[in-house]
Structure 1
Amino acid sequence: MSNACEKNTPEQDDEIIRDKERITVALSTSETVARYGNANAEYIKGYTGIDNETGQRFAKGLKDISEGKVHPDYAERNIKQQAGFSAEVATTSRDNSEAIINGSKIRTTRSDDLPQYGKNHNIVDRVQILDGNIIEGSQSQMKFVGDRNALFKKIAEDTQNGDGEFARYRGIKLELPSEQYGDAAEYCRKKAQELRDQAEMAAGKDAPPEVVERLRRNADNYDQLAENVFDSGLTTEDAIFYREHPKMATALDIARTSHRAGVEGAKYGAVIGGAISLLTNAFSVAQEKKQFSEAALDVTTDIAKAGALGYGTAFVGSTIKSGLQQSSNQTLRVLAGTNAPALAVNICLSLGNSVKRYVTGEISEAQLLSEVGEKGAGMLSSSMMAALGQLAIPVPFVGAAIGGMIGYTLSSFFYQSALDAARGVELSRQQLERIRAIEAAARDRIAAEQAALDAFTRREIPQLRQETECLFAVVSNGASHVDDLAAAINEYATLLGKKLQFQSMSEFEDFMDSDQPLAL
């Protein structure tokens, strides 16, 4: 067993340097993780129908729509009708996600969620809002129907005098399924020309003026309709998929957005990692520790690794952030506003190498603990705890939540490393049994860590909230006796795992009269 006072080996020093580089790359993606995490949160809101950040409840989420009743005699029609509602929610989530990614302040909302329109408005389905005001001309209706041309005819062609149905659609965008949008404008213009030709023929045959006027008016309606048709961004098949498989569809949306975050994170990671590698390798060449060709190869390799790390950090970090941000738990929502999601992932990645070496027998249990402790002191305290220090909540509770995430992930590392080792090179029976034992223990630990984290959330967070409210009540009421306030503060400190030196005013006065040291 190695002594704790022994110096690090060169391999350990190299690993510490790599840890610092990984953290630097991870932090370079923090803005990307935050932006794309916010974008991903839009899909979660669309699925649940609740914005846990603001407490707003929407008319319906994808989950609610998927649970709608379907009459057995009209199943296909019911599904298609409900798929139209799903398409409204899905496109709204997509539009808002894209706006967040692009830095736009414009947000899209369904008319069902605005009091001025009420439920099931007969024309307006979606509007765009900027600074709380509806943008003029942004109102749209989404039409997922089987016969597009029949829909156009119903809207544009009036068989009576006056504007008829088209008057209700004037200035309203018509959003169509993607497969119906392609030639929609061309079809409308063609119909407009046909109606004008008919009007000319009717006029030449001395038809009643109102008939000629109606034909010309309908032609104008088709021309305006050609300008108002838009692609919803979803096919009819997509809409039905959102209706029948809302959870899977939401997961795919998050995965696509997280992939975009990963690509952007890879760019930042490659730039930062490349700059670090270029400097360190240039220094090595200057000291004649490396040949130029060797240094050039190392720089290329380091850029590739940093790009991959940037991709993984941004991909996973943005996914984790969206989940924390829309959690029903206030503590986890606050945690989403820090660098914790990305750093937690990178801590696990950094410790993964040590776990693998332990599982394969390269290092002992004592050496594993030594490496984990070294990395913990360097990474956790300086980087993770710095991020957590931004929180205006008791750190021990947040530490427990993060610890649960890390414990779960590291248990998975143990399990996967054991599987890889068992499939690898030929092993002695004794070594194989050891690896299988680690594998079994890791599998049990994964379940235990998950259960512990779930139990922690259910048990501790409500208690913390209750005790905090009690403390604030005592402070705000201005306790008439200082010992009452001291008792409340001491009880709260005990909850956080800290025992204060003084329990009452008399104890403090006794301390002031004594030579005892002050314990901080």
Structure 2
Amino acid sequence: MANNKDASIKNSAITGAVSQTVNIYGSAVKEHYVSYGGIDNETGKILTKSLKDIAKSKVNPNFKDQNIKQQAGFSAENKYTARQNAKNIINGKTNRTIRTDDLGRVNDPLFDHVEIDSSGNIIADSGLQMKFVGSDAKSALSKLESKEYQKYIDANAKLSVPSDFYNGIKEEAQKKIQNLTEQLKRAQKDGNSQLAKTLESRITKLEKINKNLKDSGITNKEAIEARLNPELSVAKDVLGLAHKAGLQGAKFGAGIGGSVSLIKNVVALVRGEKTATDAATSLVKDTTISAGIGYGTAAIGTALKGAMQNSTSQTMRSLSKTNVAAGIVTGVFEVSKTMTSFVRGDIDGVQCLEQLGEKGTAQIASIMFATAGQIAIPIPVVGAAIGSTIGYALSSACYAELMNSLKEAKLARERRIQIERKCEEISAMMKEFKREMDEYFSNKLKIQLDVFNEVNDEIAVALKNNDINGFINANNTIQESLGYKTQFSSFAEFDKFMSK
């Protein structure tokens, strides 16, 4: 039992340690949930188009590929917004990326995205135009050079392109610049000023394109997937962030679990309870298990926290600001161990209830103390870890006292069972006694009944014949059958007795 409690306290400390990671990455995950559903329930902001809305867009069968690609561009805009904001949250930046459509500037002629500061003010020169065009890098560059896109070049807009085209476009642009530069030299040498001017203009445009080109972080394949299967697309982003949070959690788990195990194994080694090999093996095992717990708590907690933070329920959104998401994961882990022990028969029902209750109340206390600890000790991880440990230890102590009544009830129940068994034995004995008594009295009464029937006949004859002695003899027969001694056997004896 002590080992289980030590493990639970250690797991609670890990929960507190990963709380900050869960909160940060959970907030980042929330951005992807907003991108999919189109509503930020935390701020009340409603997007013009969500990934779910775009996926429902109509497609002309005659221009299916063209329509899908165009609509995938809108999906890419949403994913870019979510990814950039998630990235800023993780990096501790307060700036946020927002689509101009969601600022009320629908179909802005120059920019698809701008950045805003924490006060909602647009940051200067942050405008960006996203272009998912062309079938490859070369054709994409040709599109960007066309007259149709000249306005973006003139506005010095940043041009965000698919990740799988980005390097190719820059290489193609550089090749063209080199080629045009050679042509410019020849034109200048030949004195062809008109051609030289044209070549200079093209080189300048390509250099601006090259300078303002930005990797969107989204491939063409991802954009198409976001258009055709937004649920899968968002799930991949959420799992990606959860994995990153899990890796951070694994570090904390390994650090806490490894430290605790190191102390225990060194003590065991000094006492001679373990060999050096056994101690080292135990240390590696404990550290690995704790790292796994840290990973799972942070990863699953992150996904859960993001969903809670964008919940339509105010209560759930409020809870998302605490460490409840990570606590739920740890709680489920602890409960699963208890239920496994119960199913295997290692513990009985009362012990199962005891452990479930202890872990439940301890987990709640752990969450509360982790929050308080982080406030009291505003050092990342440290305050929450200490708070969680204290919370778990205190709640466990209180719960242990509360469980005494249940244990007493358990003992009382055991005594009651013993008494019931004794009562059953006595009851069986009483039934046997009753059976014997019934049998005895049934036989006895049968004999008496036969005597009564015979004597009644004698009494009837005596009364008919006025035979006093016959009546007395019949009456004496009844008394004798009942065990009484008679005083008179005839009327003469009775008369003599009365004459005295």
CA distance in 2: counterparts of 1:154 and 1:266, whole angstroms: 46
CA distance in 2: counterparts of 1:145 and 1:284, whole angstroms: 66
Other-structure match for 1:128: 115
Change (3 A) 1:246 1:157: closer
1:119 maps onto 2:85 in alignment: no
- Report the Cα offset of residue 280 of structure 1: 2.7
CA distance in 1: counterparts of 2:220 and 2:170, whole angstroms: 19
1:81 pairs with 38, 58, 70, which one? 70
Other-structure match for 1:468: none
CA distance in 2: counterparts of 1:302 and 1:113, whole angstroms: 50
1:22 maps onto 2:11 in alignment: yes
Give, as a single letter, the amino acid of the residue that structure 1 aligns with 2:39: I
CA distance in 2: counterparts of 1:284 and 1:204, whole angstroms: 87
2:300 pairs with 316, 322, 326, which one? 316
CA distance in 2: counterparts of 1:151 and 1:282, whole angstroms: 64
CA distance in 2: counterparts of 1:199 and 1:18, whole angstroms: 75
Other-structure match for 2:334: 350
Change (3 A) 1:79 1:35: same
Unaligned runs of 5+ in 1: 1-11, 391-520
SS in 2 for 1:183: helix
Other-structure match for 1:176: 161
1:139 maps onto 2:121 in alignment: no
For residues 244-282 of structure 1, the C-alpha deviation after alignment (integer angstroms, 9 at most, x for no partner) is 000111011100110010011000111011112222333
Q: Which has the higher helix share?
A: 2
CA distance in 1: counterparts of 2:4 and 2:189, whole angstroms: 90
Aligned length: 371
The CA RMSD over aligned residues, in Å, is: 2.5
- Report the Cα offset of residue 216 of structure 1: 1.6
Contact persistence 1:41–1:326 (CA under 8 A): yes
1:94 maps onto 2:83 in alignment: yes
1:61 maps onto 2:50 in alignment: yes
CA distance in 1: counterparts of 2:343 and 2:6, whole angstroms: 23
- Report the Cα offset of residue 133 of structure 1: 3.2
| Rg comparison, structure with higher value | 2
Give the share of equivalent positions with the same residue, in percent. 36
For residues 6-44 of structure 1, the C-alpha deviation after alignment (integer angstroms, 9 at most, x for no partner) is xxxxxx122112111111111111111111101111111
SS in 2 for 1:175: strand
Give, as a single letter, the amino acid of the residue that structure 2 aligns with 1:134: I
- Report the Cα offset of residue 86 of structure 1: 0.3
Contact persistence 1:357–1:363 (CA under 8 A): yes
1:110 pairs with 89, 99, 107, which one? 99
- Report the Cα offset of residue 158 of structure 1: 6.5
1:234 maps onto 2:223 in alignment: no
For residues 483-509 of structure 1, the C-alpha deviation after alignment (integer angstroms, 9 at most, x for no partner) is xxxxxxxxxxxxxxxxxxxxxxxxxxx
CA distance in 1: counterparts of 2:270 and 2:234, whole angstroms: 53
CA distance in 2: counterparts of 1:14 and 1:302, whole angstroms: 13
1:360 pairs with 336, 339, 344, which one? 344
CA distance in 2: counterparts of 1:122 and 1:13, whole angstroms: 68
CA distance in 1: counterparts of 2:65 and 2:100, whole angstroms: 26
CA distance in 2: counterparts of 1:345 and 1:172, whole angstroms: 45
For residues 459-504 of structure 1, the C-alpha deviation after alignment (integer angstroms, 9 at most, x for no partner) is xxxxxxxxxxxxxxxxxxxxxxxxxxxxxxxxxxxxxxxxxxxxxx
Unaligned runs of 5+ in 2: 374-500
Change (3 A) 1:287 1:151: closer
